[in-house]
Structure 1
Amino acid sequence: MRWNICSCLLVFVLGCKVTAATKHEVVEEKQSVSLPCLHSVEGEVTWSRETNGHRVDILTVGGDVEKKHISDPDRRRSSLADKSLYIRSVTVSDSGTYLCNNAAAVELTVIPSETTRLVAPKSTTVTLNCPLDVGGSHVPTWSKDGSEVQENIWVYVSHVDKTLTLTYVQPRDSGLYYCDGKPAVYLTVMEAETSDRARQEQKRRVTQRENDV
């Protein structure tokens, strides 16, 4: 019984290491990208991609032989000397989790060309702007990951300048934001903590906004 418990704990720890080691790559459309295995590889290597719980094998490489498992008429996918997966001229549909021999290696996010990219420290406030071609006098609809962003004490949509303000951002707020269905900003929230004084200031602003409402 004790051996079984230890085995389960070992599997759990190894699983955590694999997840923690996964690399997150963000690139724009039409760029090329090389996705490396994050563990030593010997013999054959099979690359797969997982999206929404569905996994598809892409190619297998071993020695001088490369075998493709999916249709690739434009020959955009190939392997490099170190068995990394090379994708030429990526598209948004190439986004997903890439696995090397069934181990998660790279989380690839492909964003539309010329999308604004913003990096913000954790627990700070950021303001996102709609694209210039979003016109009209209506209040824009902001969305992320296919879901509409709802206003609350932490989130505010300006009716005047069409901006989205996120207060006290966290890593889970990272991602591609759309304004009226058009790509607006890709936000990356860094894990670095702000000072206690900065956190107090953020909370003061939220309290003030709640009182104003």
Structure 2
Amino acid sequence: MSWSVCNKMRVEIYSCLVALVLGCSVTAEIIRKVIEKKESFTLPCPHPEGWTVTWSRENNGQKVPILSVIGDRDERHICFPYKRYSSLADKSLYIFKADPSDSGRYYCNDELAAEVLVIPIGTSRLTVKERSNVTLMCPPGVGRPDVSTWSRGFGSKSITVSQSEEGEESRFQASANGSMLTITDVQLDDSGLYSCDGEPAVYLTVIE
């Protein structure tokens, strides 16, 4: 085999190795979890290398450490009843019997790992396709007799969906008394927990 052919093969192999390394360095996609209250769940650490891994949760825009995994032992930074926060062998974070206060963004070694929303037990879930139309209803016994207010939230995001002014175009249209909310031309970003007068009504998932 000639030197030029061997050299070409080396270049091709080197290029493949570089591509593989670059591919491995791509940031992992953020996990989004919707968990019912009292469910237990696990959050994997994107890069669990190292002797110590520290998990934290975003609170009012600041990351608050909750648990460090040091070798094969856990060091808790916040006191939780029944040790609800613990780690697994791969340094994943295990949360026992989720509470609404567990909602938020979770970081592993300051790297955003997941966004969690804990919803009440029995909350309705609805999945619709992008670009379709959907109508949501207030839960039975919820809503004022005049005009109800709708809001949507997921983790750190929260918006108020109000009725449109006359002549104003909007994809969100509430009924006269606000007991129903119609969303037209649904977008992927419309996914989230919709509440009527502060009470969870339905968790909407929009798929392509």
Shorter-chain TM-score tier: 0.7 to 0.9
Identity %, equivalent residues:
48
Distance between the aligned counterparts of 1:160 and 1:186, measured in 2?
21
Root-mean-square deviation (CA, aligned residues, Å) is 2.3
Q: Does 1:189 align with 2:197?
A: no
Residues 1-213 of structure 1 correspond to what in structure 2 (within 5 A)? 17-18=26-27, 21-134=29-142, 137-145=145-153, 146-152=158-164, 153=169, 154-159=171-176, 162-190=179-207, 192=208
Distance between the aligned counterparts of 2:144 and 2:161, measured in 1?
20
CA-CA distance at 1:32 after TM superposition: 0.5
Higher helix share: 1
1:113 aligns to what SS in structure 2?
coil
The AA in structure 1 aligned to 2:109 is N
CA-CA distance at 1:136 after TM superposition: 5.7
Unaligned residue ranges in structure 1 (runs of 5+):
1-12, 193-213
CA-CA distance at 1:73 after TM superposition: 3.0
What is aligned with 1:209? none
Q: Which runs of 4+ in 1 moved over 6 A?
A: none
Q: TM-score, normalised by structure 1?
A: 0.75
Distance between the aligned counterparts of 1:159 and 1:136, measured in 2?
12
Q: 2:48, 2:90 within 8 Å by CA — same for their partners in 1?
A: no
Higher strand share: 2
